Amino acid sequence: MNATLRRLSTIVMVMFLALMVSTTWIQFVSAESLNSDGRNVRTIYSALARDRGPIVVGGEPIVTSVPVDDNYKYLRTYSEGDAGAASVYAPVTGYFAINGTVTGMERYANSYLAGEDDSLWLDRLQNLITGEEAQGSSVELTIDPKVQKAAWDALGDRNGAAVALDPKTGAILAMVSKPSYDPNTLAVHDSAEVTATSEALINDKPQIGTIGGEERFSVYGPTINRTINATFPPGSTFKLLTSAAAIEYDGMTPDTTIPAPNLYRLPGTSTDVQNYGGETCSSTGEMTLKDALAISCNTAFLGLANTVGKDGMQQMFEDFGFTESLDIPMSTSIGAYPGLIGGENDDDSDARIALSGMGQGSVRMTPLQVAMISAAVANDGELMEPYLIDNVRDSDLELVSQTKPSRYKSPFSSSTADALTEMMLSVVTDGSGTGAQIPGVEVAGKTGTAEDDPRSPTLWFTSFAPADDPQVAVAVVLENEGQSTDESTGGALASPIAAQIMQAAIAK
């Protein structure tokens, strides 16, 4: 072989080698990043050209893929295109858009819905051999349609959220967030229309009151699931956690007498905090822990938090897992507590710890977390891990997976849970939460009216029922719906909503 042929052969071999390396790099090393690139239209075409699996609630599909005559082949449809019905479930289902945005269960259960999960390898192999069109699996949720509808109807036109759990398993029975939106408007096969609708929803912050003649708006838009991704000051619902710490760590009981002055001076400051409406909790300046929770005495719990101390309060918050994100499978936001937030401005002074005793200051929680407090009390101190997927079935309706309930945390003992149940019963029987009473059913609960300067108070109620055999634990939040009057407290407005949700769950 002469020199010219050798050089040509070498060049050809180098070119082939370069081609092999380039192809290998693109198909294997860069495959994931290229597939996830929003500019990769082929990925969207491929995803929508597949018969994506349904999302099922109560045995009926609430999300389906409908065949259409365009390049995408299938149109993702929510509640058969009914805007009102789709809005009820939108914070749970999320949406699948052609611009690459996927949210809610559409995103977090995507591997099942798209038929790509590792557990479905046999189905994919069969499709490859037979040449049949690939189909996604159905994902059945734990949501109970009756409980979901009751929560939706009970919230009415108010901004807020409601979540209901089975305290014995952790199954989420209802997850409602208002205001909501119609996911069908984001599933259309027109990229420009999807982008315009998405931007409008992101910028649509609901008005949440007027302070001094100035309009106030929420920081959360309709596409935010307020039950798991919005945090609020929990107000007096947090007194349950303060009580749990006092009972578990300091050996207190519901009958332990604690100070309940008219004013409480925050340690290290000249600031005096009074009780709601300037009321007197006790003519003697002291009362039992049970009575303090029943009437939601602020000054008593300010002092109680400092009695427990920073270490005890922080420990109880962490023992609930509130500093950790959950995958339900959607990712939840974490809570905030003084000394556990991080950063230079994380103030865990005695004054801040005292304020935390009544759920104020820098304490922030999601409605799901507040419901988890009640769920732990209801389940003898065992907090079950919340979950949304009940089971997954392939295109032949064969069971692929079934969620098994599992313990998440054990924040306190069963004796502490018994004491808290006794105290929460008194709240509903003759305390601040009488609006949650259900004829013939013992309800345990706690009210909350959280100052949220410069906005109006945020209203809460959390509860479980029946007290002797708990079937449901609930949290309701009304975002900045209070007016600091007796007619607009958590007990007045939020507790009747919780009662309707609990009734639906008990009657199912």
Task: Please state the φ and ψ torsions of residue 140, each to the nearest 5 degrees.
Answer: -95, 125
CA–CA gap between residue 508 and residue 497 (Å, rounded) = 17
Angle between the 145-155 and 495-506 helix axes, to the nearest 10 degrees? 160
| Full-model pTM | 0.89
pLDDT of residue 100: 86
pLDDT of residue 129: 56
The answer to whether 245 and 357 have CB atoms below 8 angstroms apart is no
Q: Per residue of the chain (508 residues), give pLDDT as tens.
A: 567 777 777 777 878 787 777 776 666 566 556 555 555 555 566 666 678 999 999 999 999 999 998 888 899 999 999 999 999 999 999 999 998 899 999 999 998 898 875 655 455 555 555 555 667 899 999 999 999 999 999 999 999 999 999 999 999 999 999 999 999 999 999 999 999 999 999 889 888 776 666 778 888 999 999 999 999 999 999 999 999 999 999 999 999 999 999 999 999 999 999 988 888 999 999 999 999 999 999 999 999 999 999 999 999 999 999 999 999 999 999 999 999 998 888 999 999 999 999 999 999 999 999 999 999 999 999 999 999 999 999 888 888 899 999 999 999 999 999 999 999 999 999 999 999 999 999 999 999 998 876 667 899 999 999 999 999 999 999 997 776 555 567 778 999 999 999 999 998 6
- Strands 207-211 and 263-265, bridge-based pairing: unpaired
The CA-based diameter of the chain, rounded to the nearest angstrom, is 112
* 98 Cβ neighbours under 8 A, 6+ residues apart: 44, 48, 72, 188, 189, 190, 191, 194
Mention the CATH class of domain 230-390+404-506.
alpha beta
Task: Please state the φ and ψ torsions of residue 476, each to the nearest 5 degrees.
Answer: -125, 135
Catalytic residue among 177, 198, 218, 236: 236
Asked about 36 being catalytic, the answer comes back as no
pLDDT of residue 127: 55
**Residue of 470, 419, 476, 501 lying closest to 168 (CA atoms):** 470
CA–CA gap between residue 429 and residue 435 (Å, rounded) = 9
- DSSP assigned state of 403: P
pLDDT of residue 38: 52
Domain residue limits, the chain: 230-390+404-506
The answer to whether 201 and 223 have CB atoms below 8 angstroms apart is yes
pLDDT of residue 136: 84
